[in-house]
Structure formats: structure tokens, C-alpha cells
A and B are shown apart, each in its own frame.
Chain A
């Protein structure tokens, strides 16, 4: 049977489960802390043949207290304990199984700066970037690069309290007016040159295979900075794309250097037809890519999970 850990109601996961069932294998879906016991049981019986992980689906128990801070700390405590069990299972019993995905726990996260550095060393073009601490430097960069964007260094922000809601993973353009309002000195901020693009490329990498789409967001003003914010009425054009051979090789090398056997990568294509690497996302969603390109990636993943393991 294939162990499935994912968000509930995720369409892509449902499709994976359907393909696995059509091959004649069973699935075992888990997402509660209490499921860990059942996993251990199935592991001890030797029933788990492969693992599929997609996104953060783990539900942690809610402790009823009137003090929200206490509740938060209790939850963190229980969560970390559960994570320790997951990590142990993956380091031992589940280690040699065919698997798709990564556990979304701290420690598994990619460091964006390391990735950019690795890409550069492989000869991939990357946009100019710098970690900025001072307003004056930000102004200088704005002058040199003309247009600059700010990106989260880690996972972006998600703060929800009774008083404020601050969330954001998106890339923002920074104007001179914005900079004027900043403090002289601030905490480290990742600033990147905004490179003009004619289209974007989203690549999904899975076990040495590449599936690519070109995303045309230029005609739609709101999505120029980040094509994830796209217009519902006339969705941006998304069509299959063939990466030049050299780029394919570099992507494979990059993924092997980062020891990732799956992930999605973002590139932009400049008006001069240069390919500029932006980032790798090890938890990238591939459902839309599979549908837009008519790739049937879900089927390929299911087939891989149902072939006998590496052991």
C-alpha cells in the first residue's frame, strides 16, 4: 500500500489516489497526529511500499485554554514531538521506499540564497540580487537596476492575531516612494533586480524528467510582477514548452546538487530571449501544470510509486 500524506480535498492528491487504485494498489491516507500509531503498525507489518507527500496536511490537536499564548506554545510543543516521530520514520523504515515529495518541516526547507549561488556556479543566468540592510544602499540598487523587487528570504510572513493579519509570499516591486518611507537601517532584506520578461517558464522536475510550460502574463498588467496573481476572466496563456537541451542539463545538475528528485523551477525569458533562473520550490504544486500541458504527471507519479522499491 502507498502511504499518502497531504492536504484534505486536494484535487491532485485525489487523482494520484485514483491512478494508484487503478493499478490495483491500496492507499493509506494519514493526516492526524494519532495516525502515527497506525503508520508504525503498518510499517511493522511491512505493508507500506511507497510514500506520497504533498504539502502540509498534518492536523495537530487543539488544546482548549483561555490563554491564546499558552495554547500556541502547547501546540508547538506537541507539533514538534510529532515531527520528531515523522522524521524518525523517514530516516529509518520509510527511507528506502519509492517516494514522492518532501515532508514540510523545518530543516527540509531550501535556502534561497544557497540555491541562487548553486545556480550561478552551474552557469545559469540569475538576476542581480543583494541582501540589503540600509536605505541608502537600497536607493543605489534602485538606481543601478532601475526596477527592483523584494522577496521573502525564507517562507514569507503569516501572522494572524486578534489585532493584525499580515500574510504574504508574493514578490513586490519597490518604488522610490516606498524607499523614502523606510527606516535608515532595517533587517536583512532580499532585493532582486526586476528583469524584463516576455514570458515565464514553470518547470516541473520529477526523477530526471522535465515538464515545462510557458506562461504569458505580459498582456495582463496585474500579473506582471507575479503570475500567480492572474486574471480570472482571461486567464494567462499557458502552453507547453521545450527547454533547450543545455538548460535541461543544467536543471538536472542543479537538482542533483540540491539532492532533490522533485520540485518546480521558475525561469523568465527576457526580450533578448535569454533564460534567467529565479527559484526552485521543493513543494511546488504541479496540478495546474499537468492539466495545462495535458501531461498526465499524476499518472506517471502513481506508476512510479507502484513499481517495486529501490531495495
Chain B
């Protein structure tokens, strides 16, 4: 520990203050460190000072704590010492993306009779890159194959499949699918008898099975600690935009074009309107600019810039700025509880008709 050299926080390690405690978001190593407010104050208000000066500022009453804090900061490589702190600027948190749409959710069940070629044509016109396909009922492999064939030679280069277990298909079949279509970047099979995971032989695509059953779009919207992402892109986007809905387009099971399949607003049906046209409808981007700083409770949460969001299921239906319903975290008590049994949430659960909590 260097007591006499000014310290500086690495610009990609950003302290964020919550209601009761703070965090250090390490955007380079995808880590979130919980820290007390006292440490937050030291690193933000005394940045550019030496440890000796900081100790003196606290009248040398807390020397031991301060040493301990700096041991932690050094150990995690969150700070460094330099005589030229003025040459190290903060990270610029601007966020930009070349196109209006970056990702798409496509929901499928037995009734979804879609023309994949025209959907993929629309996504290609939008320059969409990511596609998440969510299948709620078992469909023949040929359906997925025709979808993946339609995606070839389009801008949709990363496709994630979350599909219902199909008795006719075993893991080898899914593996073959991954190794045949290079755009597939992950497969999850839900409603499977056991939890398995493996990688495909050729392209090493992750394939896993889960026992959980996804009945329909109401299963979406869960906020969990392990969904947090601590990287520059998410952190910067979260400053001004919604981390789930920004630049997203979706097609629900009935072919309705929406921002997300769970939201009420529809912008036409794929049988009658093209995807690019739908994005031009008034209100299509309504949720895109709702960032965590505008959302009740989240705005006081230390995880606000590494968390995902949900605007489809909120605690107070009708208030688009209210907290995600399916988040069990309370930034005032710092506790995680099961959201679905929380007494305060029952009215909203009923409102959204979330009968089967998946």
C-alpha cells in the first residue's frame, strides 16, 4: 500500500450508490462488489488524494478501516496509484447503435402459422442482429429448420432457441441442429425430465435442458442476481435507455407485432404489415427511453446499471414507472425475497393473471 501517492479508480470500475449500501461495478471483469457507503464516500470524494491525506481527513480515527478498505481495493485491482491523476479521465458513458432494431423475440406455439421467410426478410431490412425464438409447445424439427434456413444470408447472425421438449428429439438432434446452422448460438430445452448441459461437437454451442416449463410469455420478466451484467455496453445503455426493451421488436404467438410479447400495445399483425412498417407506428418506442433512473425503487438500487428490466409486469399496473413485479430485491433492506408470495404483489399478480408462476 502506498500511503503517499494519490490513488485513482480505474475508469472501468464504477462505484454506484444505493439506498443502503453501494457497489463497485467492474465493467472489464464482469464483477459486482458490494461495498459500504463509507467506502463509496472515500473513493468518490477523496479520489486523487493519498491514503495519508484521507486518514488525516478523518482525524486518524479510522486508520485501520481505511487500510483495510485499500487492501480490498488493491486486491481487486479497482484502484491504482499515480502522480498524474489528472491524465486519467472518467469513462465516457455514451451509448449508440447503428440501427433502430438490434434484437427480436419470436414466440411460437401450435397455433403460430408464420411465414418465416417474410419475417426474416423484415428483420434483414431492419438490420436486426439477434433473434430469440421461444417455443411453448413441442413442434416438429422441420419448423425450426425452415426458420433457420430463412435466416441464412440475413443480418440475423445470432439466434438463441428456447424450446419446449419434444419426445421425438433427443440431445443429439439438437446438437446436429447447432452444428448444421452456424447462426445458432445457444439452445435451451424446457420441460425436460432432467437438467443436462453439453456443447455441440463441431461449433461448441451450449445446449442445456431444464425441468422448468415455460407455458407462455407470462413466464418472462424475472429479475435475478445472476442475470446482472457488468460491462461497459450495458452500463452505458442503462444510463438512458431501458435495458430490456430498447431496440427490441417482437412477434407474439398470435403474430402480433409488439415491443415485447407481454406488453399490451400491438402495432399490427405480421400477416398484414411488415416489421419495418410496424416500427414506424406511433408509440412503438414508448418504453425505450425509460431508464432505471426513472423507475421507482430501482432508482435507489445499487444494481440499477447492471440489472435487466421489465416493463410488462410491474408492481403497479398502469404506472409505467413502477418497479418490476418479478424482482424480489429490496434496496432499502438489502434483502432478496421470493416475489411471487409477497403479500404486496398479489394484486398485481392477479391483474396480470399470472396463474402458473413459472
B84 close to chain A: CB less than 8 A: yes
Stretch at the interface among B92-100, B144-152, B300-308: B92-100
What's the nearest-Cβ distance from chain A to residue B234, in Å?
12
Query: Contact partner of A18 among B29, B88, B99, CB < 8 A?
Result: B99
Q: Which residues of A contact B11 (CB under 8 A)?
A: 239-240
Chain A 9-35 residues near chain B, CB threshold 8 A: 15, 18-19, 21-22
Residues of B within 8 A of A216 (CB): 10, 80
With both chains docked as a complex, state the minimum distance between the C-beta of B105 and any C-beta of chain A, in angstroms: 21
Known: A235-B29, A241-B88, A273-B84. A294 touches B77 (CB 8 A): no
**A294 in contact with B28 (CB, 8 Å):** no
Known: A294-B92, A295-B92. Contact between A237 and B127, CB under 8 A? no
Whose C-beta in chain B lies nearest to the C-beta of A198?
B82
Q: Known contacts being A239-B12, A242-B89, A291-B232, is A19 close to B28, with CB within 8 Å?
A: no
Q: Which B residues lie within 8 Å of A299 (CB)?
A: 96, 98
Cα A238 to Cα B99 with chains together (Å):
28
Within A263-290, the residues touching B (CB, 8 Å) are 273
Bound CA–CA A15/B97 (angstroms):
10
Q: Are A240 and B96 CB-contacts (below 8 A) given A21-B127, A273-B84?
A: no
Q: Does A195 sit at the interface, judged by CB under 8 A?
A: no
Residues of A within 8 A of B94 (CB): 294, 296
Given contacts A219-B77, A234-B77, A242-B87, contact A19 B98 (CB under 8 A): yes
Whether the pair B28, A237 counts as a contact (CB closer than 8 A) is yes
Chain B, residue nearest A20 (CB): B98
Complex Cα distance A7/B198, Å? Answer: 31
CB B127 to nearest CB in A, in angstroms, measures 6
Q: Is the CB of A239 within 8 A of B99?
A: no
Q: A292 contacts the other chain (Cβ, under 8 Å)? A: yes
CB nearest neighbor in B for A216: B80
Give how many A residues have a beta carbon under 8 Å from the other chain's beta carbons.
27
A107: interface (CB < 8 Å): no
Are A273 and B83 interface neighbours, CB within 8 A? Answer: yes
A19: nearest chain-B partner, CB-CB: B98
- One of B84, B89, B236 near A240 (C-beta < 8 A): B89
Closest to B232 in A: A294
Sample 6 A-B pairs with CB under 8 A, ordered by A number. Answer: A216-B10, A216-B80, A237-B28, A242-B86, A242-B88, A294-B92
Contact B12 A237 (CB under 8 A): yes
B297 nearest CB across to chain A (Å):
28
Contact present for B92 and A292 (CB under 8 Å): no
Measured in the bound complex, the distance between the Cα atoms of B11 and A216 in whole Å is 12
Tell me which residues across on chain B come within 8 A of A241, comparing CB atoms.
Answer: 87-89
CA distance A293 to B91 in the complex (A): 7
Known: A293-B91, A296-B94. 5 other contacts (CB 8 A): A18-B98, A238-B28, A239-B11, A239-B91, A241-B89
Asked if A46 is at the interface of the complex by the 8 Å CB criterion, the answer is no
A214–B98 contact, CB under 8 A? no
User: B239 CB to closest chain A CB, in angstroms?
Assistant: 11
Nearest B residue (CB) for A15: B98
Contact with B along A179-191 (1 / 0, CB 8 A): 0000000000000
Task: Report yes or no: B127 in contact with A18, Cβ–Cβ below 8 A.
Answer: yes
Q: Are A239 and B10 closer than 8 Å at their CB atoms? A: yes
Is A106 in the interface zone, CB < 8 Å from B? no
Within 8 A of A (CB), among B67-91: 77, 80, 82-84, 86-89, 91
**Chain B nearest CB: distance from A53 CB in Å?**
21
Residue of A15, A237, A295 ringed by the most chain B CB atoms within 10 A:
A237
Enumerate chain A residues within 8 angstroms of B28, measured Cβ to Cβ: 235, 237-238, 292
A238 adjacent to B12 (CB under 8 Å)? yes
In the bound assembly, the distance between CA atoms of A239 and B77 in angstroms comes to 13
Chain A residues whose CB sits within 8 angstroms of the CB of B88 once the complex forms: 214, 239-242
A234 and B29: CB pair below 8 A?
yes
Task: Give the distance in Å from the alpha carbon of A161 to the alpha carbon of B11 in the complex.
Answer: 46
Digitize A236-261: 1 where CB-to-B-CB distance is under 8 Å, 0 elsewhere.
Answer: 01111111100000000000000000
* Chain A residue with Cβ nearest B84: A273
Residue in contact with B87 in the complex, picked from A15, A22, A219, A244, CB distance below 8 Å: A244
Q: Which residue of B lies closest to A23 (CB)?
A: B98
User: Bound complex: CA of A214 vs CA of B91, how far in Å?
Assistant: 12
Taking CB atoms and an 8 Å cut-off, the chain B residues in 113-172 that contact chain A are 127
Interface string of A213-239 (1 = CB under 8 A from B): 010100100000000000000110111
Q: Which residue of B lies closest to A243 (CB)?
A: B87
Least CB separation from B231: chain A residue = A291
Q: How far is the CB of A88 from chain B (nearest CB, A)?
A: 33
> Nearest-CB distance from A237 to chain B (Å)?
5
B235 nearest in chain A by CB position: A294
Instruction: Enumerate A45-67 residues with CB–CB distance to B below 8 Å.
Output: none
CB of A215, distance to nearest CB on chain B (Å): 11
> Given A22-B98, A239-B12, A240-B11: A294 and B83 within 8 A (CB)?
no
Q: CA separation between A178 and B333, bound complex, in Å?
A: 62
CA distance A234 to B29 in the complex (A): 7
CB–CB B91/A22 < 8 A: no
Contact yes or no, A294 B236, CB < 8 A = yes
Contact A294-B91, Cβ < 8 Å, known A18-B127, A234-B29, A237-B12? yes
A148 and B99 alpha carbons, distance in the complex (Å) = 50
Would A292 and B12 count as touching, CB distance under 8 A? yes
Residue of A nearest to B157 (CB): A14
A240 neighbours in B (Cβ, 8 Å):
11, 88-89, 91-92
Which A residues are in CB contact (< 8 Å) with B77? Answer: 219, 234, 237
Which of B84, B87, B94, B99: most chain A Cβ within 10 A? B87
Which 6 A-B pairs rank lowest in CB-CB distance, beginning with the nearest? A22-B98, A239-B11, A18-B98, A242-B87, A237-B10, A19-B98
